């Protein structure tokens, strides 16, 4: 019975992320940039399930989100790295459920996520002026990290509570 519940929760995670990424509300933006939903969705799963399950979920998230994106930039490597890192933190036995801890982990994950995408765009787009890419990148990375860090205590705490209640 527990395996069936885990599969249903995994499927719900898998379906909800692309929908949230595409249909994100305009009131959830900061400086016209929305939160990093893959980070907010991956963090509670990785803390609860450990590194291998979170790497699998990150792989699925990355493939689905890369399918929605048009271009050469991929989110797959950074999601796998974040899933492994947060899964290791969850397996060490330290209970991560405080609002500040979740916000800090989501903020750092969003910064790493944004930097990964930004670096890929810098190397792939040679025709754009570098000063425009630098200004754009700093703006996007910081705005996305701030809104993700502010939403993390709400979203991640809710997802952790939901997972713990459904698996009991």
**Domains, in order of start, for the chain:** 2-167 (1.10.1760)
- Tell me the two tokens of residue 11: 């499927």
- What is the per-residue pLDDT for 167? 58
- What is the per-residue pLDDT for 108? 96
The burial class, CB within 10 Å (0-12 / 13-18 / 19+), for 49 is: buried
pTM of the model: 0.82
**pLDDT at residue 144 greater than cutoff 60:** yes
């Amino acid at each position: 019975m527990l395996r069936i519940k885990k599969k249903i929760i995994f499927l719900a995670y898998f379906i909800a992320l692309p929908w949230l990424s595409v249909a994100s509300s305009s009131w959830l933006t900061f400086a016209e940039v929305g939160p990093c939903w893959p980070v907010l969705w991956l963090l509670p799963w990785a803390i609860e399930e450990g590194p291998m399950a979170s790497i699998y979920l990150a792989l699925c998230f990355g493939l689905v989100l890369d399918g929605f994106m048009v271009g050469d930039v991929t989110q797959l490597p950074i999601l796998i790295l974040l899933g492994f890192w947060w899964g290791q933190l969850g397996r060490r036995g330290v209970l991560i459920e405080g609002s500040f801890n979740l916000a800090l982990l989501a903020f750092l994950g969003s910064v790493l996520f944004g930097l990964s995408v930004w670096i890929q765009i810098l190397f792939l787009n040679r025709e754009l002026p570098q000063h425009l890419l630098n200004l754009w990148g700093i703006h996007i990375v910081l705005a996305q990290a701030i809104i993700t860090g502010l939403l993390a205590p709400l979203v991640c705490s809710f997802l952790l509570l939901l997972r713990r209640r459904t698996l009991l």
